[in-house]
Amino acid sequence: MSIRFDLSYANIDSSEFESRYQQLAQANDDLNNKTGVGNDFLGWVDYPIKYDQDEFVRIKEAAEKIKERCDALVVIGIGGSYLGAKAVITALTSPFYNEEPRAVRKAPKIYFAGQNISGKYLEKLLALLADQEVCVNVISKSGTTTEPAIAFRFFKQFLEDKYGKAGAQERIFVTTDAARGALKFMADEEGYETFVIPDDIGGRYSVYTAVGLLPIAAAGIDIDALMDGGKSGYEEYNKPEFEKNPCFQYALYRNVLYNRSKNIEILVDYDPSLEYLAEWWKQLFGESDGKDGKGLFPASAHFSTDLHSLGQMIQDGPKNHFETVIVIEADQSDLKVFRDEKNLEGLNYLTGWEIDAVNEKAFMGTLLAHVDGGVPNGIIRLKKLDAFHIGKLIYFFEKACGLNGYLLGVNPFDQPGVEAYKKNMFALLHKPGYEDLTAELEERL
């Protein structure tokens, strides 16, 4: 299998899984048949085999236009509207992608906006792009989400000032609702090319839609291979045999440890390329699990870097957590340690060792230390880091997340808690309709 889940260091007895098989099978049926709670947002389940082929072609055509027209693409969105694309692009391009010459990249630089409300961030990005050829992909279901709406207002003006209305029209690509919402209305009025966010797919499950695919394709990544990985995940992770289904194993592993009061899961990687995959994973599980006082808190750590900061807490702190480690089995580089005659740092014993092999031993040493310290570890073994395997890993996590939500007894496809901060923010900004709450909050502050 191209993705395996290794339970050798999880300290879980097989009986703990067996007692949950029936519940897991029901959860799987509810997902596949789209009969479970939240079933109006289950379009992602079979999307890798049912996606709109015509729009997929248009996505690739638009990506080519972006490559031809611009030095930089600005992707405007927040949460699921940007994290999936950023995760895949970060995983599959150079760590220094934007700094590389165009001849090496063969695609525009990729910048993100609308994922925060920092005036400094927006101001500096606009200044950076002043003398570059720029395209924008704005992603929002409604068009009224505060963070991306502010950023798009500025970038729309930026492009119109730079290229005129007609020129801006050719450089703005909109991913939004098929028929309604402020952004859809604006796109139709201005004549922007548009792509669809399906009604039955929530943002954090939308990587395979135009939400993720257009920026990913514009970065020069093979989205056919990405979708093939998603299709492979769909086919493999619907098999009912627990022993042959790593996705089932991962879902139950989380559930077993949660019921042992291990209420924090730390997703660990040993490759900086996976940093934003962890950020996407945190949103996926955080928004899906955290309901009704239930759920695992999703955290992440990047080793060996964080072994010098979080390592002490993980090793010797409260034992309320477990680790899930992503291991890339194929070497990413053949760079080797070379001999130095002075050997002042004492590294000559590593002469001839590949850096990736040293990294692997760091993983093994850490694994054994943390397990000895009472921290269960599960290992996701990814055969290699490419578009197919990342595509499959995305489906692996999405399916496990849906299963885990049903095992917890929550709706993993809504996010009512996210609205609380928005309501308060609107009131404090004196948005019309929030007057009564404004007075209450200002008194409290």
Domains and CATH numbers, the chain: 3-36+226-412 (3.40.50.10490), 47-221 (3.40.50.10490)
Query: How far apart (Å, rounded) are the C-alpha atoms in residues 355 and 247?
Result: 31
120: annotated active-site residue: no
422: annotated active-site residue: yes
Give the pair of three-digit tokens for residue 379: 């290992």
Task: Report how far apart, in Å, the C-alpha atoms of 87 and of each of 60, 82, 199, 314, 321 are.
Answer: 19, 9, 23, 25, 24
Q: Which regions in the chain score pLDDT beneath 70?
A: none
Cβ neighbours of residue 187 closer than 8 Å, sequence gap 6 or more? 174, 176, 194
pTM of the model: 0.95
Query: How far apart (Å, rounded) are the C-alpha atoms in residues 39 and 325?
Result: 31
Contacts by residues 349-352 (CB-CB < 8 Å, ≥ 24 positions apart)? none
Contact, 386 vs 267, CB < 8 A? no
* Residue-level pLDDT at 1: 76
Residue tagged active-site, from 106, 239, 244, 422: 422
Residue tagged active-site, from 147, 236, 265, 287: 287
* Residue-level pLDDT at 252: 96
* Residue-level pLDDT at 71: 96
* Residue-level pLDDT at 331: 85
* Residue-level pLDDT at 418: 75
* Exposure b/e, 177-206, CB count within 10 A at least 16 = b: beeebebbebbeeeebbbbbbbeebbbbbb
